[in-house]
Each structure stands twice: as structure tokens, then as C-alpha cells.
Amino acid sequence: MSAVIREVKIFSGRDSREFAQSICSNLGVPLATVKTKRFADGEISVSIEESVRGTDVYVVQPTCKPANEHLMELLIMVDALRRASAHHVNLVIPYFGYARQDRKTKAREPITAKLVANLIEKAGADRVITADLHAGQIQGFFDIPLDHLMGGPLLASYFRENLSGDLKDDALTVVSPDIGGVARARTFAGYLGDPGLAIVDKWRSHEVANVCEVMDIIGNVDGKTCILVDDIIDTAGTMVKAAAALKERGAKRVYACATHGILSDPAVDRLKTSEIEELILTDTIPLPEEKKIDKIKVLSIAPLFAEAMRRIHLDQSIDTLFSANGKN
């Protein structure tokens, strides 16, 4: 007996309509209608404006700034869809907020990423699709399926196209801005054919007066075009300092990339005057007009999410999607 292919409906939170519309365009389905309003005391109210009974629903909503607002809106939408008899409620969370609170680093600290996972499950979600979690172990915080997409291949494809000369001449080096990101940088280098790899080692000096932070470079960057790789850029302080250290050690040019561009103040001002020639981001977090500067280029990861959603709906392998994406 052939499997039943249910109707798909895609909903969006208030601040993610552009990303959701891009997914819909790739899948050839219209964006479903939902109305959200706020009461005088700040409470959020959600109204699903069309029938979802028996359908497979996808809700697109990154939990970026304001994180609490977006998270609460997402949870309310899940509850509304569950009560409206949706068959499956799948969450598309391009950027998973609170991911940096994934463990206890001192006594009496919460593990907020786990709390958020519990809230999502309790609200009634059946599946989560996200990209580049800050800590991979967060996948284990969920007892429902979680599909973890990677922005690295998309970002690497940009550099393969625009820095092909440096790749050909063995003049490219991938750089981790800290020790903790070495595995990520090594994986990214693999997408580029394994060029050179370097690490920025940040440490505190107790011997030099008034110097609390020193940047050492592990690896050869002299005369090289360097690509700094991270998953998140927030205030851009680490990235900007790392770029300056690379230039001091003889780097020819410095680029930077990350899947998630939070860009909290004063990130944009720092980037404007930094040694970074270009910062490449994906659109997991909407970039407001006031933060759009010439140095920042945004690539859309929505087609990757759309393809993942299509394969999930048809019960096809996501693993093959990763393999193909990494080779393109």
C-alpha cells in the first residue's frame, strides 16, 4: 500500500516572512495565513486563518533578538496548530537561540538550551529543523527528531568561486578565531579542498603590564589570503581582533564568514574599521537595513531548508542532501 502524502502548509512568525517566503518559492507552495497581535499588556495572541486539520505543518521562526518574544510566539503558534488538529507540527528554526547556554560552567547556573528544548516538546512540536547549533550536543536535548543542517558548504561555495586564484596558487588559509573552533575550521577547509589551516590562540599575559590579552597565530599566514570561520558573530570583537593579528603576522587579505550574524552593537561599527575585507553570512537571522554595509554579504540558506523539508515530507534521506551539498 502506497504511503499517504499529506498536504503541506507553511506558516511564518512575524519577523521571518522573507525567509519563509523564500522557502515557499523553492517548494512551490503559498505561505499560509496567520495573524499575530499584541494586547496592551504585551501578551501575544495568534490566530491561524485557515484550516490545518490533517496537514503537515511547518512553522518558520528563528529565535533571534528579541529571543524571548520570538520563542514565545513560536510556542503559542505550536499550541494553536495542535489544537486545530494539524497532523504534524514541524519547526523550522534557522537560528536556535539560547544555544550558547548549553552546559553549566559554574555552580547554580541553568542549562537554558535544554529548558528551551523541553518547552518546544511540551508545546507539541513533532520535529525541529535548524542550522549550525553552537554546541552539537544540543541535538541530544530533544526527544523528537532534529535535523541539523550546515551552512559551511554554502559559505565555502562563495569562496571557491571568488577566491579560486588563491586556491589554485595554494595561497589560501582557513583560520579558527579560537581554540574551540578548530574542528569547525578543519571541516570548512575540507569543503575547500583542504588548504592551509591556522588557529588564533588568545591568552592573558601576566608578565606585560597593562596587557591582558595576547593573540598568537598557530600556523603559516604570511602572504596568505585568510578566511576566519565561526558559527556565530555577535559583537564581532573576537573576529576583528583576530583579523588584526593575522595582518600583523603578514596575511595578505582577511575575509570572515559565519552562519549566524547576530551583529549586536557595536559589531557593525567594529567591522567598518576592521582589517576584514568582507564578511559572508547566511540569512538565518534577518539583517536590518541599518546594519547593511558594503563589507557584509548575505547568502540565502533558505533553498537548503526547502530541500530538507521536501525530503522529510517524502521520507527521503537527509544524509544524501548533506553529501551532495558538500560537493557542489
Using alpha carbons, list the distances in angstroms from residue 297 to 71, 130, 159, 280: 27, 21, 12, 5
List the Cα angle 60/22/305 in 5-degree steps: 60
DSSP 274: S
Strands (E), 69-123: 88-93
Exposure of 97 by Cβ count < 10 A (0-12 exposed, 13-18 middle, 19+ buried)? buried
Distance of alpha carbon 187 from alpha carbon 167, whole angstroms = 16
Q: Are 233 and 260 in contact (CB under 8 A)?
A: yes
Cis ω before 62 (30° cut-off from 0): no
Q: Other CB atoms closer than 10 Å to residue 168's CB: what's the count? A: 9
Using alpha carbons, list the distances in angstroms from residue 32 to 86, 125, 146, 293: 13, 18, 23, 33
Residue 224 annotated to the active site = no
Distance of alpha carbon 317 from alpha carbon 321, whole angstroms = 7
> One of 202, 252, 291, 297 is an active-site residue; which one?
202
Distance of alpha carbon 287 from alpha carbon 258, whole angstroms = 13
List the Cα angle 137/73/115 in 5-degree steps: 30
What is the set of active-site residues?
A: 202
